[in-house]
Chain A
Amino acid sequence: GAVVSQHPSRVICKSGTSVKIECRSLDFQATTMFWYRQFPKQSLMLMATSNEGSKATYEQGVEKDKFLINHASLTLSTLTVTSAHPEDSSFYICSASSTWRGGSLSTDTQYFGPGTRLTVL
């Protein structure tokens, strides 16, 4: 159990366009979802934390108007990179956690998606 999917896995777009990345928890309800960015050979950098039905909490230095996060349901969160530029090219990873303990699911644990590779030309 505890599978998290991301779509698309890879996207190439032109500078100035917007890109939406979806993150879904497939077999559990995710009360909290996290969005990370990772540059080559670097560690994960937390961008924002979102709880279902409320506004996302952004980390310092992350522009909330540029990286729009919507967490409309317990199984779906989306990250929209608006007016993308080449410097936004990165590997974006989401993760989900749940306050429900059942089966093989652990609370206070993040389950990661496979990531989305964004390339802005």
Chain B
Amino acid sequence: EVQLVESGGGLVEPGGSLRVSCAASGLSFSTAWMSWVRQAPGKGLEWVGRIKSNADGGTTDYAASVKGRFTISRDDSKDTLYLQMNSLRTEDTAVYYCTTARELDYWGQGTLVTVSS
């Protein structure tokens, strides 16, 4: 059974930084392309970005709203995906979901990031 478990969410002030993680199990993580999708309170889903497998170049793509502020990385030795968020804004407040990227078929339970002073 595929499991994706996010962690690291919390309260951060505007302009601050936070790193959230996603621990994967039950899939071949090293060959998986992975994505982050977020959902602001009471709002719809928004794709944040993705990272390809290292075998496919390990390259990243980002939504325009986060490009230059957020960085997605992976540690295949730990089967873990990361989202480093810098220069956080109040509009980044959301539940952040980790998903498999090719077809968004597996999702974690999400971790809440609140940006507020």
Partners in one complex: no
Residues of A within 8 A of B (CB): none
Residues of B within 8 A of A (CB): none
